[in-house]
Structure 1
Amino acid sequence: MGRITSAYSLYHRAAMSKTKLPSPESFYFLNGLAHLGEVKKTDLINYLFYEYTTGMEVISKLLKDNLILEKVDLADKRAKLISLTAKGKQVLNGSYIQSAKVSEMIFNGMNNDSIKLCIELLVDIEEKHSKWVPELKNKEFDEMYHTICK
């Protein structure tokens, strides 16, 4: 898994350099906003499993480049909500083309049945860790291990 993840990361960084994104990570943030809609910054950061400081740096770049918009949350005047701008949607759509190429590179040569089997086998693992990671991401490794493998 580690080697596949490393290969994917290499290809993804190279592919995103061909886009108008300020950084490769920006793709995940814009894509997350496309799925979640208007959300608090921390909600997006947690959804993506990023560390707070790193997530805020990416969000700042996206705001600076007018790819996302920030406004006051009417339900909680202290909080700010972010959402995609028209420019952000346009850049994201162009980035999807590059992202699809990365997936094509990773799964090149596999038939559709094998890809479907991979998804079937991994969906439970993804769901399990999607629940655990937000709670555990700032814990020490031993606590993470004991919580998940109790």
Structure 2
Amino acid sequence: MKNYQLIQELIGHLESFERDQPNSDQQTLFNFVAWLNQHLLTSAAEHAQHSDYTRDAYQTPDVYIGIMIGFLNRYSKLYAKKGLENTPLVTLDDFTYLATLWQHQPLTKIALIERNIHEKTTGTEIIRRLLANGLVEQYADETDKRSKRLQLTPRGQELLMGMWPLMGQIAILMGGNLTTTEKMVLVGLLQKLHSFHNPIFLNNRDGSITELIKNNIY
């Protein structure tokens, strides 16, 4: 928390809250959190009114969310490509597979693939590259001999640990010019969207768009 930026931001918000709520009986932590959420969402909505999508009748907020998330994905791949130079890793996904294994190993192949939100074909190709480069190793599952479990090799762990500092810098770059408070709000919203979409991916990904909307939106 460099220079106590978050504390400074919270103090500023708290001063504004106290001006808006002069009655001391209303100055509770619960009311402050509710006020802060509403304040940040209102600010975000006001900012969005000046964005490009408000000038295009065909770009609803839902469409714009999809466009912006797609753009952010491309930015992250652009920056990650610089971080992968001079390594045996081909894509950012190669790195995230190693990081996922480091956190949760050993994992079955399908568990590793699903944690990274990939189709089986794509995930299998990534795992094949990591095995070929000696970064992960596989062994038979003790309870299901038909299944294989994966874990990092010493070489894979050494590579991952060596890449953490630079990938951390890339993460800071991805956060851009958002304040710490704005980042917290964005993380909460993205986690909410992830919690909505993940069960669809795991359990009903073959459903039609019409079915998915009917079963999950309306």
TM-score range, shorter chain: 0.7 to 0.9
RMSD: 2.0
Relative contact order, CA 8 A, sep 6+: which one is greater?
1
Do the aligned residues in 1 keep the contact of 2:88 with 2:133 (CA within 8 Å)? no
For residues 35-74 of structure 1, give each alpha carbon's deviation from its aligned partner in whole angstroms, at most 9, with x where no partner exists.
2211110111111111111111110111111111100111
1:51 aligned partner, one-letter code:
E
Q: Supply the distance in 1 between the matched residues of 2:111 and 2:156 (Cα, whole angstroms).
A: 19
Q: Supply the distance in 1 between the matched residues of 2:208 and 2:81 (Cα, whole angstroms).
A: 29
Q: Supply the distance in 1 between the matched residues of 2:215 and 2:117 (Cα, whole angstroms).
A: 17
* Residue number among 83, 93, 96 corresponding to 1:28 in the alignment: 96
Q: How many residues align?
A: 150
Q: Which moved more, 1:121-130 or 1:84-93?
A: 121-130
Give structure 2 stretches of 5+ with no counterpart: 1-68
Do the aligned residues in 2 keep the contact of 1:73 with 1:81 (CA within 8 Å)? yes
Percent identical: 23
Do the aligned residues in 1 keep the contact of 2:135 with 2:152 (CA within 8 Å)? yes
1:119 aligned partner, one-letter code:
V
Q: Supply the distance in 2 between the matched residues of 1:148 and 1:74 (Cα, whole angstroms).
A: 38
* Residue number among 110, 113, 131 corresponding to 2:199 in the alignment: 131
Matches within 5 A, 1:1-150: 1-150=69-218
Q: Supply the distance in 1 between the matched residues of 2:143 and 2:213 (Cα, whole angstroms).
A: 37
Q: Which moved more, 1:99-108 or 1:74-83?
A: 99-108
Q: Which moved more, 1:16-25 or 1:75-84?
A: 16-25
Structure number with the higher strand fraction is 1
> So what's the TM-score if we normalise by structure 2?
0.62
Q: Supply the distance in 2 between the matched residues of 1:119 and 1:79 (Cα, whole angstroms).
A: 35
Please identify the structure whose Cα radius of gyration is greater: 2
Q: Which moved more, 1:60-69 or 1:115-124?
A: 115-124
Q: Supply the distance in 1 between the matched residues of 2:122 and 2:157 (Cα, whole angstroms).
A: 22
| TM-superposed deviation, 1:2 | 2.4
Do the aligned residues in 1 keep the contact of 2:77 with 2:92 (CA within 8 Å)? no
Q: Supply the distance in 2 between the matched residues of 1:26 and 1:63 (Cα, whole angstroms).
A: 11
| TM-superposed deviation, 1:146 | 3.1
